[in-house]
Structure 1
Amino acid sequence: MQSKNLIRSALLVAIVALAYYTYTQIVANSSNNLTFSADSVVFKRGCLHPDSSCFRVAYRFPVPVGKGSSRIEKLIVNDFVGNMDEEIDRNDFAHLKDMLVKNSISYDSSYVEFLKQFGAGLEWYIDVDFTQILRTNRLITFRYEQSSYTGGAHDMYGYHYLNIDLKKTKILKLTDLFTDMDRFKAIAQKAFTVQYLNNPADKTEYWLADDGSLVLPNEFGLTSKGLLLHYNVYEIACFARGDIELLIPYPDLKEILVDAYQKELMN
């Protein structure tokens, strides 16, 4: 009787293992079949000739196509909306485009009032575009670049990275990539010191925390050459200094990089 129970338990474990393996293979294959196209929302007022008043908006974003695309669509929409500090009821591209149209019209109303105060011949613009900077069997990274002028002393620009684990249908954080964040910070600070703090031309007194430790940026991206830490303008330096990129090669991070991502990034 006891041997029969053991056999049944072994069979049950084997069935569960087979089901899990089958599921992971289906997910992995669906990730490989995914492709991405581009969609956009464009809005213009004026812009008839070089000297005319002009307000133009262009929001461009990636759209997944293929099996499993609906899950990735939700991630992209939620990320895009959250990065704009907006909220929508549903996380699909139809609602995203509707939100962007309303956003453009709102800015257009402000632009009309701006023209009434300051006269014609002035330009406002908002441009958001994306580039795919990494694609493996499991991982994909998009970099958004935003530039805008909506009044003020100067235009603005910034970068945002969307790093997705296609197998887990998850937006990655730094803590998902490394087994030891304290050690990661030490490696990053060493790289930052070599690349920036040893340059006497840079005023670096405000680049570090009060205790002298490195402040990690809000944005990071996975590239073919290494992990990119990207500080946007004003994040740790003045506008004139611009944005600051810190590239850390994957071999420097190998000992603390999660095993599943080593296979993707170290090949």
Structure 2
Amino acid sequence: MKSKLTCLLICFLLFACNNKNSLSFEPLSIATDSCENCTSVRIEIPQANGKTKISKTINAALEGEIIALLNFDEASNAQNLEEAKEAFLEDYKELNGKFPEESMPWEATIEGNITFENESIITIKLESYIYTGGAHGYGTNRFLNFDKLNGTELYQEDLFTDLEEFKTFAETLFRKQENIPAEGSINDTGFMFETELFYLPDNMGYTENGLLLFYESYEIASFADGPIILTIPYVEANTFLKYPRKL
């Protein structure tokens, strides 16, 4: 009897260990009613199921990012996605009331999808387009990385064993990709790095093809150039990663 109980306990512990980093998702969709020439909001993201630490962390991080994207008025007190949607609509109404002849309907489209997942890490990309007037809207991708085992969000300094060493390596690849001479200013071919020194983007994430570095429009180049992307294959990136991908 004792041996059976011991076996059951071991099986339970193994099952718990194997499932503490398991995740399942369901689609979450929030949108305004369809209306011609009206301000519109459409949000479609994966929502983590369950009450585990990692599920709560992922859902809170996605919600926080989206609320920030929709926050036109810094005084907004939106606490969730529905409130953020309504605040976006109200901000447009307020502006339209002041300048009705100049206010075009606003638009916010935000879509999320998982770009990478293994036993220890998961990356979710938020792709957004926000228009709040002017000549054009603003589109971007944001990558959120999470440690599944510890249930925490990972920031840039959490991804690398030596951030400065990786930056030096990434600069070499960036110069090669963009045909920038190895010697001289990083801005020699027209980029706009501040202080004329290479730096990593705030935005980077795991993908199936490698570690992706994403420079926003305006971050290091003109808007017309669009985002600048550098993807580093894991065979090269793994040396610097705290969470290397198995090859």
Instruction: State the TM-score, normalizing by the size of structure 2.
Output: 0.78
Partner of 1:162: 144
Q: Report if aligned partners of 1:189, 1:213 keep a CA contact under 8 Å in 2.
A: no
User: 1:97 aligned to 2:77?
Assistant: no
Once the two structures are superposed, residues 167-213 of structure 1 have per-residue CA deviations (whole angstroms, 9 ceiling, x without a partner) of 111111232222111210111001100111439xx973444342x43
Structure 1's 28 and 103: CA in aligned 2 closer, same or farther, altered over 3 A?
farther
Q: 1:217 aligns with which of 201, 206, 218?
A: 201
- Structure 1 residue 23, shift from structure 2 partner: 7.4
Q: Report if aligned partners of 1:55, 1:125 keep a CA contact under 8 Å in 2.
A: yes
Q: 2:157 aligns with which of 175, 193, 199?
A: 175
Q: 1:190 aligns with which of 172, 185, 190?
A: 172
Structure 1's 79 and 39: CA in aligned 2 closer, same or farther, altered over 3 A?
closer
Partner of 2:115: 133
Structure 1's 185 and 24: CA in aligned 2 closer, same or farther, altered over 3 A?
farther
Partner of 2:55: 72
- Structure 1 residue 160, shift from structure 2 partner: 0.7
Partner of 2:8: none
Query: Structure 2: which amino acid aligns with 1:57?
Result: V
Q: Report if aligned partners of 2:67, 2:81 keep a CA contact under 8 Å in 1.
A: no
Once the two structures are superposed, residues 130-156 of structure 1 have per-residue CA deviations (whole angstroms, 9 ceiling, x without a partner) of 121111122111111111222112121
Q: 1:107 aligns with which of 91, 99, 103?
A: 91
Aligned residues, how many? 226
Structure 2 portions without partners, runs of 5+: 1-11, 182-186
Q: Report if aligned partners of 2:67, 2:84 keep a CA contact under 8 Å in 1.
A: no
Partner of 1:46: 35
- For 1:57 and 1:216, the matched residues in 2 are separated by 32
Structure 1's 220 and 42: CA in aligned 2 closer, same or farther, altered over 3 A?
same
Partner of 2:193: 208
Partner of 2:238: 254
Once the two structures are superposed, residues 208-250 of structure 1 have per-residue CA deviations (whole angstroms, 9 ceiling, x without a partner) of 342x431211100101121100011111111100011111111
- For 1:174 and 1:253, the matched residues in 2 are separated by 14
Query: Which of the pair has more CA radius of gyration?
Result: 1
Structure 1 portions without partners, runs of 5+: 1-21, 48-52, 90-94
Structure 1's 115 and 38: CA in aligned 2 closer, same or farther, altered over 3 A?
farther
Once the two structures are superposed, residues 50-87 of structure 1 have per-residue CA deviations (whole angstroms, 9 ceiling, x without a partner) of xxx2321112222112462x642344324432564468
Q: Structure 1 residues 56-65 or 98-107, which shifts more?
A: 98-107
- For 1:142 and 1:114, the matched residues in 2 are separated by 38
Query: Structure 1: which amino acid aligns with 2:20?
Result: S
Instruction: State the TM-score, normalizing by the size of structure 1.
Output: 0.73
Could you say what secondary structure the match of 2:198 adopts? Answer: coil
- For 1:171 and 1:23, the matched residues in 2 are separated by 25
Structure 1's 217 and 208: CA in aligned 2 closer, same or farther, altered over 3 A?
same
Partner of 1:30: 20
Superposed CA RMSD in Å reads: 3.0
Could you say what secondary structure the match of 1:46 adopts? Answer: coil
- For 2:82 and 2:18, the matched residues in 1 are separated by 32
